[in-house]
């Protein structure tokens, strides 16, 4: 929890001047790595409930960073994508994230960072199984949400 709080504070220091919250930061990066996403997929990837994510999507849509459209394969589902302005913003946000990650990993070897990511992914998969077993009906996050670097933001 202390690591998560520290990361949130560091991210806030970088994104508040952009009029974003840390949650907006993570949401936009998730979408940039895995779009198009349904609202449910996005909520699971962020470990948040649908109504909260829906409000965040609406805020970012109103600001011109996201567009929401129908899912051609499902009549009631929406798909969420970045607008061109959102893509530009996410390029900046990805740089912020990489800078923070580089600072956090500064005194670690490549092997240590790889081991850390591997162990954190295992930890998250175990939590997903616990949620699935202990909270029937609560969907777990998509597998790509915990598969490690390059898939979705690996720090949350």
Whole-model pTM over 0.85 = no
Q: Which of 106-110, 143-147, 150-154 has the lowest mean pLDDT?
A: 150-154
- Looking at residue 47, what is its pLDDT? 83
What is the mean pLDDT of the segment spanning 8-15?
Answer: 94
**pLDDT tens figures, 80-90:** 999 999 999 99
Q: In percent, how much of the chain has pLDDT > 90?
A: 62
What is the mean pLDDT of the segment spanning 103-123?
Answer: 93
The pLDDT mean for the chain works out to 86
Structural domains for the chain: 2-108 (1.10.10.10)
What is the mean pLDDT of the segment spanning 125-151?
Answer: 64
Peptide bond into 36 cis (omega under 30): yes
**C-alpha distance from residue 72 to each of 12, 33, 78, 82 (Å):** 36, 21, 9, 17
Burial of 30 (0-12, 13-18, 19+ CB in 10 A): buried
């Amino acid at each position: 929890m202390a690591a998560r709080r520290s990361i949130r504070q560091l991210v806030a220091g970088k994104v508040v001047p952009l009029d974003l919250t840390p949650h907006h930061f993570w949401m936009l990066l998730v979408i940039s790595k895995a779009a198009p996403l349904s609202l449910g997929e996005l909520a699971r990837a962020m470990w948040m409930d649908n109504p909260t994510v829906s409000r965040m999507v609406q805020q970012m849509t109103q600001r011109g960073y996201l567009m929401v459209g129908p899912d051609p394969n499902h009549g009631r589902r929406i798909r969420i994508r970045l607008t061109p302005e959102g893509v530009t913003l996410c390029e900046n946000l990805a740089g912020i994230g990489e800078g923070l990650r580089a600072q956090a990993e500064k005194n670690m070897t490549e092997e240590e960072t790889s081991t850390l990511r591997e162990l954190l992914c295992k930890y998250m998969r175990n939590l997903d199984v616990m949620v699935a077993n202990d909270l029937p009906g609560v969907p777990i996050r998509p597998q790509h949400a915990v598969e490690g670097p390059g898939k979705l933001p690996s720090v949350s």
